[in-house]
A and B are shown apart, each in its own frame.
Chain A
């Protein structure tokens, strides 16, 4: 683009500039020729009239003209003193006199004057080198033709020199102009080059690259758009990277989670097969195998839930909150009584909007976590559903051991466990809250945890647009 602009501008300039130079030179030449032609015609007229006078004088004296031609012409010799001018006389087309060196053959008249009347004593023509002014003498000497020939050599030479000088100066200026033009175009195109460099940098992976914006011209506009684009790309890349990292972490964790129960199951099975062990040892080994199998089963179930939630459309039909609480209560009962934890349900809503099974999964998990966090015998879990600012809220609170801020930051990650040992013993796969998070996201709801170590945890799930019409 830059070079194109440079060459096109340069080409255009050269065309017009040299065209102008040529026109000027040609006009100059025309001017020179016109002046010379006027002059030659003037001289011719003067010589012709004076010659005519002399011829008439001879005639009146009755003297034959031809023998005295040379003498008649003598006074005009001085014209040829400059070496450029010749005066020639022709009779009936044949040269009869010239002031040229007698060795040189007289030049023939380069033009046919026969058709030209005496008054129209033309005329000047130029052949390549000479300017001719020639014309027949008036009656009765019309057989004589007087020619005044001017050698244009010097004039042409002078003109050529002028023209060459003009061209030389023109060329010098062209070079100067080209240099200036190059610098100017470089200056003008510099911002574009910067854009191109920035684009290359971005292509090379340096997504933080931005352009400085100055002024309000098209370039500033371009820079702004470019920066916008770069920002968008960077944002997308970061989110892609994060997604990829998250996925990788999930896979890493998953493989770890899978290997641990596998190691245990395989190891104890092998132990039972190969070692001579006591019946008590046998029982405990079998217990390990069973609990690890259960854990894998849980994990498979939850992974299946996660997978089915992903990408699936969730319906938002109104559902009976009482029925939901009923279901959650019945599934929590066993664990609660086992740990001697009291679970209290407070329902201030008649209906919630959402899918019964999915919301039950969500609440089951939250209540399950709450029960697990409680200390046996003194645990209290409160489950509430209420209305706040026109939104439906589910609320689960426990008085268990709570979590630190650092733990809170990670609890939504798949396979993260705040209390590893206990979670394992309970057969947890560490997927419960990841599942909840998935559900909450699918409903565009928000889930917030508040927790203090030793003081229990509370979680609020706020359903945005709880009044939304189904469909």
Chain B
């Protein structure tokens, strides 16, 4: 979906971010220091850069200073306000404090991409096509009637595909914080989606956790 540059000197963290982003379909390139990041930015264009603040040789702020147009999410280990403010006042799109949650990272990446890329594509899985702009779903080329909640639930699953989402989290993301129903609402909607779209295999129940839309296997 999007082309993302990951600048993080800690190899395990870099790898973690890359894996998470690739799960939901982004293309990633990992670099481990500021100088290489500058070269990479000069070579090709990226839709988004995830940039660690503390980098060897050239720190994240310096890298960003030289690429202000680049949509950027800062990654910082410091919870100190000054670092966050500095990043944001410099014009960064967002920041994430380590340690972060997977869904938080994905949500912020998604939010920035939605802001910076007005044109959003659709997505296709097992003969089902979803179009984010017109908010419509087709199965085998035939448009399927969906309630708004059903559409939003499916969109959430598509955006966070390959990642298990708990029922609570789905309630929160689709129905909102103030929704007073219980998690059975989610189960009911999932059942309906599976039936309507013929995605019984793809929308998997993850034991003791929730649901996951799987794009492979």
Question: Residues of A at under 8 Å CB distance from B?
Answer: 252, 255-256, 259-260, 262-264, 266-268, 270-271, 273-276, 281, 285, 288, 291-292, 420-421, 424-425
Interface string of B187-215 (1 = CB under 8 A from A): 00000000000000000101001001010
| Interface residue? B162 (CB, 8 A) | yes
The answer on a CB contact under 8 Å between B99 and A259 is: yes
The answer on a CB contact under 8 Å between A267 and B13 is: yes
Question: Residues of B at under 8 Å CB distance from A?
Answer: 9-13, 15-16, 19-20, 23, 32, 54, 56, 77-79, 98-102, 162-165, 204, 206, 209, 212, 214, 216-217
Chain B: CB-nearest residue to A295: B12
Say yes or no: A252-B78 contact (C-beta < 8 A), given A267-B99, A424-B11. yes
The answer on a CB contact under 8 Å between A264 and B212 is: no
List of A residues within 8 angstroms of B98 by Cβ: 259-260, 262-263
Q: How far is the CA of A292 from the CA of B20 in the complex (A)?
A: 19
Say yes or no: A270-B102 contact (C-beta < 8 A), given A256-B78, A276-B217, A421-B32. yes
Chain B: CB-nearest residue to A289: B12
Top 8 nearest A-B pairs by Cβ distance?
A: A263-B99, A274-B164, A263-B98, A267-B16, A264-B12, A259-B77, A256-B77, A262-B99
Q: How far is the CB of B16 from chain A (nearest CB, A)?
A: 4
Q: How far is the CB of A421 from chain B (nearest CB, A)?
A: 7
The answer on a CB contact under 8 Å between B54 and A256 is: yes
Chain B: CB-nearest residue to A274: B164
The answer on a CB contact under 8 Å between B102 and A264 is: no
The answer on a CB contact under 8 Å between A274 and B9 is: no
The answer on a CB contact under 8 Å between A275 and B163 is: yes
List of A residues within 8 angstroms of B10 by Cβ: 260, 263-264, 424
Q: How far is the CB of A288 from chain B (nearest CB, A)?
A: 5
The answer on a CB contact under 8 Å between B11 and A263 is: no
A–B Cβ pairs within 8 angstroms, 22 of them: A255-B78, A259-B98, A266-B99, A266-B101, A267-B16, A270-B102, A271-B19, A274-B102, A274-B164, A275-B23, A275-B162, A275-B164, A276-B204, A276-B214, A276-B217, A281-B19, A285-B19, A288-B15, A420-B9, A421-B9, A421-B32, A424-B10
The answer on a CB contact under 8 Å between A264 and B13 is: yes
Chain A: CB-nearest residue to B79: A255
Q: How far is the CA of A259 from the CA of B206 in the complex (A)?
A: 29
List of A residues within 8 angstroms of B19 by Cβ: 271, 275, 281, 285
Q: How far is the CB of B108 from chain A (nearest CB, A)?
A: 14
List of B residues within 8 angstroms of A273 by Cβ: 164, 209
Highest count of chain B CB atoms <10 Å: which of A259, A267, A288: A267
Chain B: CB-nearest residue to A266: B99
List of B residues within 8 angstroms of A268 by Cβ: 12, 16
The answer on a CB contact under 8 Å between A267 and B77 is: no
Q: How far is the CA of A274 from the CA of B19 in the complex (A)?
A: 12
Q: How far is the CB of B95 from chain A (nearest CB, A)?
A: 14
The answer on a CB contact under 8 Å between B102 and A292 is: no
B12: which of A259, A274, A292 is its contact (CB, 8 Å)? A292
Q: How far is the CA of A223 from the CA of B206 in the complex (A)?
A: 81
Q: How far is the CA of A271 from the CA of B98 in the complex (A)?
A: 15
Say yes or no: A264-B163 contact (C-beta < 8 A), given A271-B102, A421-B32, A424-B11. no
List of B residues within 8 angstroms of A275 by Cβ: 19-20, 23, 162-164
Chain A: CB-nearest residue to B216: A276
The answer on a CB contact under 8 Å between B164 and A260 is: no
Say yes or no: A420-B78 contact (C-beta < 8 A), given A270-B101, A271-B20, A292-B12. no
Q: How far is the CA of A438 from the CA of B216 in the complex (A)?
A: 55
Please name 20 further chain A to chain B contacts, defined as beta carbons within 8 Å, in addition to the given A267-B99, A271-B19, sorted by A numbering.
Answer: A252-B78, A255-B79, A259-B77, A260-B10, A262-B98, A263-B100, A264-B12, A266-B101, A267-B20, A267-B102, A268-B16, A271-B16, A274-B164, A274-B212, A275-B162, A275-B163, A276-B204, A276-B217, A288-B16, A421-B11
Q: How far is the CB of A157 from chain B (nearest CB, A)?
A: 89
The answer on a CB contact under 8 Å between B162 and A276 is: yes
Q: How far is the CA of A266 from the CA of B9 in the complex (A)?
A: 18
List of B residues within 8 angstroms of A255 by Cβ: 77-79
Q: How far is the CA of A256 from the CA of B23 in the complex (A)?
A: 27
List of B residues within 8 angstroms of A421 by Cβ: 9, 11, 32
Q: How far is the CB of A448 from chain B (nearest CB, A)?
A: 26
Say yes or no: A276-B212 contact (C-beta < 8 A), given A259-B77, A267-B13. yes
List of B residues within 8 angstroms of A252 by Cβ: 78
List of A residues within 8 angstroms of B212 by Cβ: 274, 276
Chain B: CB-nearest residue to A281: B19
Q: How far is the CB of B159 from chain A (nearest CB, A)?
A: 14
B13: which of A263, A270, A281, A291 is its contact (CB, 8 Å)? A263
